[in-house]
Amino acid sequence: MNRMGWLLISLASVCLVAVGSAGGSPKTRPELVGTWDYTSMTALKNGKPFGTVHFQPGQWTVTFNQDASWVMKPPSPPAKPGGLSGSYAIHGNDIDMKLANGSSYQKYRFIVEQDGKVLTLTTKEATISASRE
């Protein structure tokens, strides 16, 4: 094979590697996938705790699926009988949740701790703690 042939093969290989590694952040994070039971929600006022509500197991859950979809079963009433659902995108340690109709639901900063058993979701207004077995 001549020199030009090798050059074209090398260039094609570099392009394939670049395309294969493109795409930015992953759609999901393995430590986030699964069903989480909300244990508490703390309202924040000027960044400081202002009051906390505690939940019983199963009272309020959110499930993050591997396909970047989510399903939430909030306390009822006033929750919809079927709960809420939509899609999510991960950007570093931020999660952007959208409803099934495409409108924005909530954006959280998240952290998973204690060997994947505790999830903390934070906004300027509240901090939510959730757990799983």
Domains of the chain by start residue, with CATH: 25-131 (2.40.128.280)
3-state SS class at 13: helix
Distance, in Å, from the CA atom of 68 to the CA atom of 60, rounded to the nearest integer, reads 20
Under a CB-based contact definition with an 8 Å cutoff, are residues 121 and 39 in contact?
no
Task: Tell me the pLDDT of the chain (133 aa) as tens digits.
Answer: 544 333 334 334 333 333 333 444 457 899 999 999 999 999 999 989 999 999 999 999 999 999 999 999 988 765 566 689 999 999 999 999 999 999 999 999 999 999 999 999 999 999 999 999 7
List the structure tokens of 103. 């409108």
Q: What is the pLDDT of residues 38-72, one digit of tens each?
A: 999 999 999 899 999 999 999 999 999 999 999 99
Task: HSE, CB side, 13 Å, CA atoms: give it for residue 127.
Answer: 15
* 112 contacts 99 by C-beta, under 8 angstroms: no
Q: Look up the pTM and report it.
A: 0.76
